Structure 1
Amino acid sequence: MRIALVNVHYPLDEDVDSIVFSMGKGVIYAGREEGVRRFEPEEVLDVDQRVVIPGLEDAHMHLYSTALSFGRLDLRNVQSIEDLKEKVRVAVSSAGSGEWIIGRGWDQDKMEEKRYPTRYDIDEVAPNNPVILVRVCGHAAVLNTRALEALGLLEARSEEEKFIQVEDGKPTGVVFEELVSYALSRVPDPPLERVKKLAKKLLQEYLSYGVVSLHSMSVSRVELEVVKSLQDSGEFIQEYRAYVDYSSFLEGVHREFPSLVAGVKIFADGSFGAGTAALRERYSDSETTGNLLLDSGKIVTVASNAIREGLEVAVHAIGDRALEEVLGAASRIGGKLRIEHASLTPPDILETIAELKPRVSVQPHFILSDTWIADRLGDRTKWVYAYRSLLATGAGVLASSDSPVEPINPWLGIYAALNRGKPEGLPIYRYTWYESLNFREALTIYSASTKQRSLVVLNVRDLPHSREEFQRVRAEKILLVDKVVSL
């Protein structure tokens, strides 16, 4: 079946006012309306100058944890430790005795106290429930005393000391990197049917924004089971590519779900917010240079094993020190690595990226969330989230949310890529105004892999400008190669 869309506003090409979409093939014509008739469409839709775009893609997100976040504490807007404690107190009041309380989203740099919360803060409002509150980046968390006891972390062992904050010989409850993952892995999983219900809600919200493709990172077996179940029942509409965590790869989970697993996700460093992204020179607001979790040799070993299994390797690398190691590994194995984040890219790093041209997934909304980035990096801020420079290298740039770290709404990411914090008065704009993208460029990195395979009719006739206008953008109809979705 062929469907013609006429009277369209197509922002990728001003000369296009009509598009013919073939079920099974995708876009087969984009041009003037007089050229439509020769394709003999079975259906012609006049969209009345509504904006029509390729389907959007979230190239780095975490489906399982984002779905669970719908039923957990959202801490992204807390302004103080007292606010944080109040949210926990309310959650405890409706929880059963001993029930785990999980939350995510706090940022110590946005709280009045400008410090990490500790177990002693959380103990005041949750003395009998184990609590884990994950920082917005996912690379740090605070656990209360009951959680530390349950996880055997009240007495830190030597191999854990670099991942746990200790004062006066006692853990404060703040943990980093591997211990965050360990803590969350020990929390009892909710019933599978509950997870499926939350996942369906998440997928529907993605569709409402016009997102038709998801790349899910650090995927576990349980997520794959949920996705497979939803696909079998016809409830998972989006294209899905899983990048499993390394432990799941070693267990051979990719062989059990070959149609779902595209690659393996590993970590070379941490995050700017937690001070664990690996830098070549120390942070401007502390004495640390962060944590390098994998050097190029170890990355080559892991990547070689995955590539032999026909899988792509996605490496989390935020700081320039980590990127140096990842790119060194990529040069040794023929460039077959995908880089997640690539947040700090000084000129020599960009030159190497231009030589190797790896795929790079970026997260534009970080520009707005990391309000403190200039304090953390100083003059190096001029090299952060450098999307125009990355595009100039010829690398394959893919845009994403990193949800639940950032909102899943891609239109807020596009807004950030266009404006770079100028309307909000953020310092990053002063350092990096020249990295701003135009609408076509921003839309392209959010639809890099979907351009010919899907179309979305939006609820607007003119391109949005203000943040409020971007927030209101929604999909009205989505054309996929195997179905049409009306919203």
Structure 2
Amino acid sequence: MTRTLRTLAAALLLGGTLLGSCTSSSTGSEPADLIVYNGNVYTVNENFDKAEAFAVKDGKIVAVGTSEEIRGKYKAAEELDAEGKTIYPGFIDAHAHFYRYGLSLQSADLVDTESFKEVVQKVVDHRQKYPEADWITGRGWDQNDWPVKEFPTKDTLDLLFPDTPVLLTRIDGHAALANQKALDLAGVTPQTKLVGGLVEVENGKMTGILVDNAIDLVSSKIPAPTEEESREALKIAEANTFAFGLTTVDDAGIDKATVDLIDDMHRKGELQMRVYAMLNPTLGNQDYYFKNGPYKTDRLNVRSFKIYSDGALGSRGACLLEPYHDKHGQYGFLLASEQEFRDIAAKLNEHGFQMNTHAIGDSANRLLLDIYGEILGGENDKRWRIEHAQIINPADMAKFGKYNIIPSVQPTHATSDMYWAGDRLGKERVKHAYPFKELMEQNGYIPLGTDFPVESINPFYTFHSAVARQDAKNWPEGGFQMENAMSREDALRGMTIWAAKSNFEENEKGSIEPGKFADFILLDRDLMTVAPEQMREAQVLRTYLDGKLVYKK
């Protein structure tokens, strides 16, 4: 996201103020706080019904119907004439990194760089802007977008920044490039060995590339952000997410300190975004939450843990059943032992927490599906999730339905990876990658997310990628592996009610129905009817949370 857009989004955050100039002309007698009428309202209820109007009181929807019905029954100080615009429930991003995204806006933005030379220039520019920073950090590079599709090396960074540690993280967060100063501070040498990670060495010398768990050796040395910096990160993240119509985000992988900060900001009115927190499985998090149990408010839900089973396909860390097609003899790797995954699964089940596991490769997915099956035993309503579920061996697909395991997917991963996924997997195995429709059919629903900042924060990219399976230039013609494309209705469900269901929150959000939070958005177009090439250009005109305006274009 550009600096201009970040600034604009922040400037437009309205902090929960009600509509300012609307006056009521309804004739009803029952009191309400807000009436929305003359809209093209997609309720996303069980029947996917449409409506024209609804009334809001005390932050919740109290009635849905025609404009005549609602205005004839209710009287409200504030009214909104939607002027025929399309209204959807507020979007729910079922897998994102909300807090980390906010922090990343303070680092060098390396997204969409077309060469390592461009990466270096952006890092140099960032250093000139923040010359006193102890570390130089950046995120977003992807060697698959460069003419030479190989990992970079640290040589140039060593020459430019011999005395300042540098850590530049790949777009997926599963590989990074560190300079020698950073490696020295972390005590990393060519002899460093670890489980679930790799320190790349060529000709006896470190290249600077770190994969998966090896990144932590260096990143753990970066000073933690101050509380003030953390608060600012959450505020700017909220401003930008509201601008894209998000009213709930699933923050995948945070610690108790961040949870407590979010809760404190909610209580003080400094933050409004609803957050479904997936906890990191640290011993500290386990000790506290296993003792105290899940925690729930109207805006914060803490009842799940985020587990990592393997790395990413782009950095060849995804754990595969057969070797990489473009790297013979390399299978990727698990980030922990099989027994450790079994142990944490048993603990989470014992203490009543949802298990949400990152699994990319077909080997990792098989292992976790089998472990889930052992623990869950059969049909259940524990809603354990596999995050990403990118490559599924056909023999394992039915396990999602057999054990009611939820595949939580991010459609833009398919359209970002489709250019090179076949190189990694080969033409036969790639047919079983990103199988969104087939995954949806296992339980009858599937939650959708973006994985921002790994992918764009924009949920309309999610929608377009799920339905058209094309990139921003509408390539490839006819779409990528269209047998697994989703219908428009199901894509909208995946971004609203199905995402809510994956969070145990379908009774309070995800649709425009009486009794639910009045979280909704107005768009400049109807995603159900526009041409596919217009989906990515959709604009949010207004975002409401609890019936209060939090963003206006």
Instruction: Give yes or no for TM over 0.5.
Output: yes
Q: Out of 29, 34, 38, which is 1:7 matched to? A: 38
Contact 2:542 2:549 in 1 (8 A): no
Contact 1:61 1:215 survives alignment (8 Å): yes
Number of the residue aligned with 1:451: 510
Aligned position for 2:28: none
- Cα distance in 2 for partners of 1:76, 1:89 equals 15
SS in 2 for 1:367: helix
Counting only pairs closer than 5 Å after superposition, residues 61-460 of structure 1 correspond to structure 2 as 61-96=96-131, 99-159=134-194, 162-247=197-282, 248-252=284-288, 258-259=295-296, 260-287=301-328, 288-294=330-336, 297-334=339-376, 336=382, 337-370=384-417, 371-378=419-426, 379-394=428-443, 396-421=445-470, 424=473, 426=475, 432-448=481-497, 449=500, 450-452=509-511, 453=516, 454-460=518-524
Instruction: Say if 2:65 is the partner of 1:23.
Output: no
Higher alpha-carbon deviation: 337-346 or 447-456: 447-456
Distance 1:182 1:381, change over 3 A: same
SS at 2:210 equivalent: strand
1:292 and 1:114 map into 2 onto residues whose CA distance is 24
Q: Which residue of 1 aligns with 2:70?
A: 36
Query: How many angstroms does 1:486 deviate by?
Result: 5.2
The amino acid of 2:431's aligned partner reads: K
> Letter of the aligned partner of 2:424 in structure 1?
R
Q: Distance in 1 between matches of 2:354 and 2:173?
A: 23
Letter in 1 for 2:288: G
Identity of aligned residues (%): 26
- Indicate how the Cα distance of structure 1 residues 14 and 443 shifts in structure 2: closer, same or farther if over 3 A, else same: closer
1:329 CA displacement? 1.1
Distance 1:427 1:255 in 2: 51
CA contact (8 A) 1:271 1:277 kept: yes
Change in Cα spacing, 1:471 to 1:225, as seen in structure 2 (3 Å) is farther
Q: Distance in 2 between matches of 1:161 and 1:34?
A: 62
| Contact 1:365/1:406 (8 A) holds in 2 | yes
Measure how far apart 1:369 and its partner are. Answer: 1.8
Counterparts of 1:136 and 1:182 in 2: how far apart (Å)? 19
Please report how far the alpha carbon of residue 71 of structure 1 lies from its aligned counterpart in structure 2 after TM superposition.
0.8
Native 8 Å contact 1:381 1:432 kept in 2: no
1:44-59 matches, within 5 Å, as 44-59=79-94
Report if the CA contact (8 A) 2:249-2:276 is conserved.
yes
Contact 1:270 1:277 survives alignment (8 Å) = yes
What amino acid does structure 2 have at the position aligned with 1:237? Q
Q: Return the offset for 1:155.
A: 4.4
Q: C-alpha distance in 2, partners of 1:451/1:38?
A: 26
Partner of 1:480: 546
C-alpha contact (below 8 Å) 2:447/2:494 kept by paired residues? yes
Q: CA deviation at 1:122?
A: 1.8
Q: What one-letter code is carried by the residue in structure 2 that aligns with 1:367?
A: A
Q: CA deviation at 1:316?
A: 0.7
AA of the residue aligned to 1:63: F
Deviation at 1:416, TM superposition (A): 1.3
Structure 1 pair 68–440 and aligned structure 2 pair: CA distance change class (3 A): same
3-state SS of 1:476 partner: strand
Question: 2:474 and 2:533 mapped to 1: Cα distance?
Answer: 14
RMSD between superposed Cα atoms in Å: 2.7
How far has the Cα of 1:4 moved from its partner? 3.7
For the Cα contact (< 8 Å) 2:200–2:207, is it kept in 1? Answer: yes
Secondary structure of the equivalent of 1:194?
helix
1:321 Cα deviation from its structure 2 partner: 0.9
5+ residue gaps, structure 2, are: 1-31, 501-508
Look up the equivalent residue of 2:397 and give its one-letter code.
L
Note if contact 1:412-1:467 (Cα within 8 Å) is conserved in structure 2: no
Question: May I ask how many residue pairs the two structures share in their alignment?
Answer: 486
Deviation of 1:73 after TM superposition, in Å, equals 0.8
Residues 328, 102 of structure 1: CA spacing in aligned structure 2 closer, same or farther, 3 A cutoff? same
Aligned 8 A contact 2:197 2:212 in 1: no
After superposition, the Cα gap between the structure-2 partners of 1:14 and 1:339, relative to the gap in structure 1 and judged at 3 Å, is closer
Indicate if the aligned counterparts of 1:359 and 1:397 stay in contact, CA closer than 8 A.
Answer: yes
CA contact (8 A) 1:207 1:475 kept: no
Q: Deviations over 1:162-217 (max 9, x none)?
A: 52111122221111111223322320022211221121011011111221111111
